[in-house]
Structure 1
């Protein structure tokens, strides 16, 4: 009997896993943004001494994972599972970084929802008694994503104003069965929502309905309301998607304006950094969560936060075949108190 389930899509943990360590690495553009003081390492350039952008992303995720483990006072040998992913075909950034670390490994592809997908599964594994220490991670890189999903950078194509800027970076979170928190209390797993949008240059509009669906089930399953959170932060919706979520939730009777924002809105300065509709990519919510959100919880600004990463599960093949964009969102409750 699934005694830890609430409602339709939510899990309540009996022994909430503790966030024991975390770390972020970002690129120079992200380091020039409004959240620069929250990132642990800001690269001087996007290649980081590597021969290709893909190898730079591999290095980012590898070093981020090792630093988060060290930040939690543990060693690689103490970790039972690594759960991670990225945007590239066959999640090569993650697979090749995992090759260097040698931890039992689950690879994920949730597009930009990967950070909260990894946190969700990692928390279930720890709460279920299958592990004491699990490291969860995600990465993306503007240059690797651009040439896989859009155009070679050398092409110099003009970006639409509805398009978002893929974040260069990585974030990693160490979950443990013991510790002083903050804790993961609830997980609401999203389901695929396809609004029929085919424009790959408007990811915010494509993903927003999935975010709304997950939020509605989260509130209904738990019996809570937006004001029960100090902060509700989605990932990767950007300016356009954020406003759509606010409007759609208002029609459902929920006013989010006082406590809701989006990682893709916060990580860049729209007016000075030419990122159009904001940030996106696996590293968008991963870096903002492991940088800004967790550090502000530690400082006491927030006591209870809902982090919800969103992902567009399309590919170049599906787009070329005229398919619409299926999307998903996973929500995780972070609480300073265990009880």
Structure 2
């Protein structure tokens, strides 16, 4: 019998781990958005002094982990596990970061849901007594993602209004045993949901049903209501996907009128910055959480947060073969004080 499991998809942590430090690095465009003052580093050059966008992304991952560990007042040698992922083939950014960091490493792929996947597994490791310190991190880069999943940037292809802008950024959080919060108290693991969307430029519509399914499962398993939370925030549904998710939740009788948002909506001034439907990418919920929401939790401006990162599990191969876009969402409850 799984003692910590409640309901079908959720676990309640016995000794809720604390997130003792977080760090966020973003690119120039993100640094011009409404959350700019919350990020630790804003790059002036999205190549970050490297020879390629992929190397720049890996460097962001390395530096945000080092900075988060420094904030936690521990050493890299104290970290038991590094759990991380990105959007690139074979997790290139994260794996190359792990090569330099030399921390025991679990590479994760949940597309843009990877930050809450990483937080979930890191929290279980600490709660289960398998680690004293774990770093959860993710990254993405607009230029690297565009040329892998869509078109070479040199072509200058026009993007439809449903398209989202992959966030250039990396976020990292350090978890340890309960030391005063913010604490991860509940984890709801999502299921793969596919409503048959095939348009890679409309990922918000593809991911919205997965977000709704996970939120419903979380509330069902825990007995919480949407009003139990100061904020329920999805990962990167963007403007279109968030509207779809809200409509679906209301039809399910879940009131999210006053406490629902999306990291992809929050990170950009969409009309001024021409990001169309909003932000996306592994780095989206990572930098919004590690740079903005974490500070609100530390300052107790938010006391109970449901972070629901969302991911479109497509690949260049699946797209070329005409497959639809399966999606997933993972949720973690984070409380500022217990």
| TM norm structure 2 | 0.99
- Equivalent-residue separation in structure 1 for 2:252 and 2:122 (angstroms): 31
Alignment of 1:154-233 (within 5 A): 154-233=154-233
User: Deviation at 1:269?
Assistant: 0.5
Aligned counterpart, 1:58: 58
1:8 matched to 2:8? The reply is yes
User: Deviation at 1:335?
Assistant: 0.4
Contact 2:167 2:283 in 1 (8 A): yes
Contact 2:264 2:279 in 1 (8 A): yes
**Per-residue Cα deviation, 1:183-229 (whole angstroms, up to 9, x for no partner):** 00000000000010000000000000000000000000000101110
1:332 matched to 2:332? The reply is yes
Aligned counterpart, 2:317: 317
User: Deviation at 1:163?
Assistant: 0.3
Contact 2:183 2:337 in 1 (8 A): yes
User: Deviation at 1:255?
Assistant: 1.4
Aligned counterpart, 2:99: 99
State the SS of the aligned residue for 1:283: helix
Aligned counterpart, 1:301: 301
- Equivalent-residue separation in structure 2 for 1:252 and 1:326 (angstroms): 22
Contact 2:214 2:329 in 1 (8 A): yes
1:141 matched to 2:141? The reply is yes
- Equivalent-residue separation in structure 2 for 1:214 and 1:25 (angstroms): 28
User: Deviation at 1:128?
Assistant: 0.6
State the SS of the aligned residue for 1:112: coil
User: Deviation at 1:64?
Assistant: 0.4
User: Deviation at 1:45?
Assistant: 1.0
- Equivalent-residue separation in structure 2 for 1:54 and 1:256 (angstroms): 38
Aligned counterpart, 1:23: 23
User: Deviation at 1:307?
Assistant: 0.3
Aligned counterpart, 2:119: 119
Aligned counterpart, 2:281: 281
> Where do 5+ consecutive residues of structure 1 fail to align?
none
State the SS of the aligned residue for 2:29: helix
Aligned counterpart, 2:242: 242
Contact 2:15 2:178 in 1 (8 A): no
User: Deviation at 1:336?
Assistant: 1.2
**Per-residue Cα deviation, 1:162-193 (whole angstroms, up to 9, x for no partner):** 00000000000000014221000000000000
- Equivalent-residue separation in structure 1 for 2:323 and 2:165 (angstroms): 23
- Equivalent-residue separation in structure 2 for 1:129 and 1:300 (angstroms): 28
Alignment of 1:37-116 (within 5 A): 37-116=37-116
User: Deviation at 1:305?
Assistant: 0.3
User: Deviation at 1:271?
Assistant: 1.4
| TM norm structure 1 | 0.99
- Equivalent-residue separation in structure 2 for 1:189 and 1:82 (angstroms): 20
Q: Which deviates the most, 195-204 or 294-303? A: 294-303
> Where do 5+ consecutive residues of structure 2 fail to align?
none
- Equivalent-residue separation in structure 2 for 1:321 and 1:217 (angstroms): 32
**Per-residue Cα deviation, 1:260-286 (whole angstroms, up to 9, x for no partner):** 000000000011000000000000000
- Equivalent-residue separation in structure 1 for 2:314 and 2:272 (angstroms): 30
**Per-residue Cα deviation, 1:266-323 (whole angstroms, up to 9, x for no partner):** 0000110000000000000000000110001112210000001000001111111111
- Equivalent-residue separation in structure 2 for 1:159 and 1:132 (angstroms): 45
- Equivalent-residue separation in structure 1 for 2:116 and 2:290 (angstroms): 11
